[in-house]
A = this chain, B = another copy of it.
């Protein structure tokens, strides 16, 4: 059989466009494909919900690839180790309670798990605004190609509807800041000083619905709350992603 370039092109266009048009109405939009977002999306999608992961960069993984200071290792504490195990990420003990894993393995396996659970990735897409209508809920995301922003092009966005949004965009807390800036009654305080122990122990209480329809997870949760900074440890991020998933699933089932 001879390969035909046009058939290949059409195969890509047609299959992705079906997915895109289909996913213009999501159950849950997870913004940011870092450790918290991937964990959260995988766990919600496992329950059969229609989940879209929106990532502004070409690649997913966020700040996890580089480990600490470009040494590609991450550390996870005792409580979060079961999540490493759950996703098949191998780790070694450095000292009691400190588990070291390879950052690239961690990203790859979290992403693979999200795929297997049925979550759909929309990379190279940025959120430039939110949709809030008469019910006062975040009920959609105003999206555009990241490349439109990079090229400084004047091009209008489209809108993707969603019942729940999880802001897992790290300390930028992109979605929360958009809501704050446009007049929503929330305040994004920004992270405080580094104090890993405190930050890790409080992150679950900061992982919550801060505005109708909008849940924050991972570093974004601590940034909104003005909590201490976490340091080069990723357990809290995985646990927060899991917690956000539980919250959203519960709400969706109500």
Q: Give chain A's interface residues, CB within 8 Å of chain B.
A: 1-17, 20-21, 24-25, 57-63, 65-75, 77-78, 88, 92, 94-98, 100, 102, 104-105, 107-109, 111-112, 115, 121-124, 129-134, 140, 142-148, 150-151, 153-161, 179, 182-184, 191-198, 200, 229, 231-233
In contact, A159 and B60 (Cβ under 8 angstroms): no
A157 to chain B, nearest CB (A): 6
Q: With a CB–CB cut-off of 8 A, which chain B residues contact A67?
A: 12, 16, 155-156
Q: With a CB–CB cut-off of 8 A, which chain B residues contact A200?
A: 3
In contact, B69 and A148 (Cβ under 8 angstroms): yes
A-B contact pairs, 25 of them (CB 8 A): A1-B78, A5-B231, A5-B232, A8-B158, A12-B67, A14-B21, A14-B94, A15-B73, A60-B65, A60-B104, A65-B155, A66-B148, A69-B156, A104-B121, A108-B112, A109-B115, A124-B153, A130-B194, A131-B195, A132-B194, A145-B145, A147-B151, A147-B153, A156-B232, A157-B231
Main secondary structure of the interface of A (DSSP, over half): mixed
A12 to B66, CA, bound (A): 11
CB < 8 Å: which of B12, B130, B193 contacts A130? B193
CB < 8 Å: which of B6, B16, B70, B111 contacts A148? B70
Q: A66-B153, A108-B115 are in contact. Are A11 and B100 (CB under 8 A)?
A: yes
A75 to B158, CA, bound (A): 11
